[in-house]
Amino acid sequence: MEEEKEIYKADDRLVVALDVDSFDSMKALVDELGDLVSYYKVGMELYYSAGSATIHYLKEHGKKVFLDLKLHDIPNTVGHSVASVTRLGVNLITVHAGGGRAMMQAAARYAKITADELGVERPKILAVTVLTSFDDKGWQEIGGHLPIQDHVLELASLAKEAGVDGVVASPKEATSIREMAGDDFLIVTPGIRPAFAQTDDQKRIATPSQAFKDGASMLVIGRPITQAIDPKAATRLILKEIKENA
């Protein structure tokens, strides 16, 4: 019985993506999953519809928050945007690695300055490499000259040099990034599909256990949980796989 409780205990390596478009839908899902989940991702769809109220609710309920807005603009604008969301108390913030070295440096700098001013823990900055919706054909259509894996590795190397905490990349690139960046660099992987789930529009995917074996630090899982007939049962299956195989 105690062993079963441990298997189904919330794990910060599992981040549930709140792929919903309203505060009420978010609240219903978070309330349903309860203590099974400790970390949530708030993306553009939810944040643009419900705003900072989503962050406040999650923090009030003891959850960690990955704010995935994929900031991409001139360094000054991104820096001030990071400062603004740092004040909300989020734990992870994404910027696009394609914004360049100066932009990523500004994000990291403003996160630290703002956190120091507030006397709070600095949010970690993640650089998004290549979206997991891309396959080789789609990548070539937008002018990708290098293979996706090579381009992701170049962006990850630049992100590390720029001083951000890690990257968002598909499980397929996790091994090469881990070899390049070392153990302390965060590799957060979307495109995770447990055996019972459909692949949907994700192209470069892996199971939870395989992603960890390949070097991932944290997994972002959305629809296999949020669109499941029984989200709690789906979450338990994923936690079981993580605990037994990762």
- Quick one: angle between helices 231-245 and 23-33, nearest 10? 60
Helix or strand run (H / E) with residue 71: strand 64-71
Q: Give 188's Cβ-side CA count (13 Å radius).
A: 28
Burial 21-48 (b: 16+ CB within 10 A, else e): eeeebbbebbeebeebbbbbbbbeebbe
State yes or no: is 124 an active-site residue: no
- Exactly one of 41, 63, 64, 70 is catalytic; name it: 70
Helix (H/G/I), strand (E/B), else coil: 164: coil
- Catalytic sites, residue numbers: 70
